[in-house]
A and B are shown apart, each in its own frame.
Chain A
Amino acid sequence: MLKTFLSHQSKSFWRSRNKGSSIATQIILGFFMLYFLVLAVGAGFSMPYLLPKIFANQNVITSFNGLILYYFALDFIMRLQLQELPTLSIIPYLHLKIKRSQIISFLNVKSLFSAFNLWPFFLFLPFIFMRIAPTYGAFATIMYIIAIFSIAIFNNYLVLYIKRKTISNVLYTAVGLIIIAGFAALEYYKVISIMAASDFVFKAVALHPYIGFAFTIAAFLIFKINSDFLRKNLYTEELSSKQEKKGSTDYAFLNRFGKVGELAALELKLILRHKRSRSSVILGFFFLLYGFLFYKTPAIDGDKFGQMMFGAIFMTGVSIIIYGQFMFAWQSAHFDGLLSAKINFKDFIKAKFLLFTIASSIITLLASFYGFLSPKLLLLQLAAYLYNIGFGTVIVLYLATLNKKRLDITKAASFNYQGTSATQFLLMFPYALTPILLYVPFGMMDMPYWGLIVVAIFGLAMLLMRGFWVDVITAKFEKQRYKIAEGFRE
């Protein structure tokens, strides 16, 4: 059965309409993975020699032990951002003579094929064999390996569990982020130390190796919880959701924009009435916290806007990036209707610009509380905002005309494992690099404010050219519309 699923999966990959771009994505990701694997191997073998140099005043094994949990904490955050949920659209299989447990175990097994599960071995095994084995003997060595393996598995399923939960409930994202932020703060202010804790734990493993099984038990538990969650949610959600009376709404403030406002209101309803899009909006508000990551005191004091640019761009443009990456596909279910209705394509495109502009303006206003850290940040964010609405919108909408993949937003969120993945980060390259490249020469010439002005003027110029860009994108859209419609009909 597992083999059949795998073959269906590969067929769905190779036969998809977006084959070209998804292959390209996979190749680029593959290179990244390979690169990091090589780094991990290198780091793994050099660790016995490097550690004494970095942590000169402590025992090398203490340093090594201290690193393990630290690594996995980072690993956890990385996975949260990058690891994809194993996808398989299960609905066609549910009514067949296939056991639920088989479907679940397929999803579980597939998730193990992730580079994240390889890195710890390359990173830690060399040191374990070179230093731990001679010092503590065979049993401790085996338990070290089992413990590390178990933590990797634990992280793997914990992240999947959290991701599955957060897709169905945004509240979990909030709680998770707050917990992580709390730990980071405690570590930062030296209240606790992950390194010391990690050393404590692995010292124990070295002395009483069987303690290592605690990790295995933890991993097994989270695996169980994850499977149970999947098992329970293999039902279409609609069955359980309660029926409430739906009313009609009218967004008066959009009426002043005429037909364009009409279309924007339509899309606003789309966003608010689907779980998937709604949670991506709410996620956008959480990204307001990105500033605390990027706006570091030394960077602010040194006017190093280049370092903070990415954070500012991402925060103020988050709605454009997150919603825009699936642009047009949100409407794939009724795309034919839109094309054949009496809608001017130009109005259609303008409505998207309008919506992006409104969303980005709101977020930027909210983000201005960073002005309390330093008023300079307001300038930075203003430049980023102008760039986002001026040029970011153009990039996103232009790329949208190339996107032909249907998005099923009506499907229950817990089935919808397509989405948040590394793919969206690829969109970020042209988007985030442009302003940074604009800024960098000025940053290097030590004229940071000129850099900001250039970014702002660039954004403003593009904003003034919006009429032109609308025409460009409309023309592209007209050309692509048959292909887009065909893809969406799948």
Chain B
Amino acid sequence: MILEIKNLKKVYGDKTVVNIEHVQIEQGETIGLVGNNGAGKTTFFRMLLDLIRPTEGEVLSKGENVMLKDDWKNYTASFLDEGFLIDYLTPEEYFIFIGSLHDLSVADVSAYLAQYAEFFNGEILNSGKYIRDFSKGNQNKVGIAAALMQKPEILILDEPFANLDPTTQIRLKKLLKEHPGNMTTFISSHDLNHVTDVCNRIILVEKGHVIKDFKTDENTLKELESYFSA
């Protein structure tokens, strides 16, 4: 068990945005968080990353509360939104900076980025632009690639498929699927096709509560579609 969420609650005013009693996540799982707007997905992710103080409860990463110790940062990579990018850097500078935090040399970073030539589609590297000048889709690519570069044990992505062009969506799915077995991935998405395709476990949330939590099989997509059309 790599992540454990215990009685996690976030209340704004009199509205409970997240209320998750108990969820355990094993190493190597790929989990899809599915739910309509306002289900509390992003708030939940932010609490996983210690960006929001929970009203109650705790998130244990390898048994340690993320609020109390920083160790989880060594093996957790994330990309929630453009707020995670340092947008006045060139993509190269950004990758090198993130790499340096994980003690990767410039050469390591370049070698790593070489693998992503296809994913970047020739638009990111050596473009002579700052990240802020890229389109949203390309910014997403930078964020996702930087997260993957950290070789994390836990990867958290909020709506990674949004704003990506179809080709890149397919490439991203491939990347997520073939990424080494012991990485635990947490993604949220509104695209039921993609989540069921990529994930082996789906957590369905509504108004902050976990409604369903199950392993994916061939019927999952239908199940989800019927749930959301009801």
Contacts and interface: CB of A to CB of B under 8 A. Distances in A.
Given A341-B101, A482-B51, A336 B92 contact: no
Contacts of B74: 342
A266 interface: yes
A224 interface: no
Interface in B42-96: 46, 49-53, 70, 73-74, 76, 78, 80-90, 92-93, 96
A342 B52 contact: no
Interface string A243-273: 0111111000000000100100010011001
A333 interface: yes
Interface of A: 244-249, 259, 262, 266, 269-270, 273-274, 333-344, 410, 482, 485-486, 489
Interface string B172-208: 0000000000000000000000000000000000000
Given A266-B86, A266-B97, A342 B102 contact: yes
Nearest to B52: A482
The 9 A-B pairs of least Cβ separation, nearest first, read A245-B128, A337-B84, A482-B53, A336-B83, A342-B73, A273-B88, A340-B49, A342-B101, A334-B86
Interface in B120-143: 128-130, 132-133
A343 to B, nearest CB: 6
Interface residues of B, number: 36
Contacts of A269: 88-89, 93
Given A262-B97, A482-B52, A482-B53, A333 B83 contact: yes
Contact of A274 (B78, B81, B88, B97): B88
Interface centre among A247, A274, A334, A410 (most CB of B within 10 A): A334
A344 B52 CA distance: 18
A343 B74 CA distance: 9
Contacts of A343: 73, 101
B74 to A, nearest CB: 6
B83 A489 contact: yes
10 contacts: A246-B90, A246-B129, A247-B128, A334-B84, A339-B51, A340-B50, A340-B76, A342-B73, A343-B73, A489-B83
Contacts of A337: 83-86
B120 to A, nearest CB: 16
B130 A336 contact: no
B25 interface: no
A47 to B, nearest CB: 54
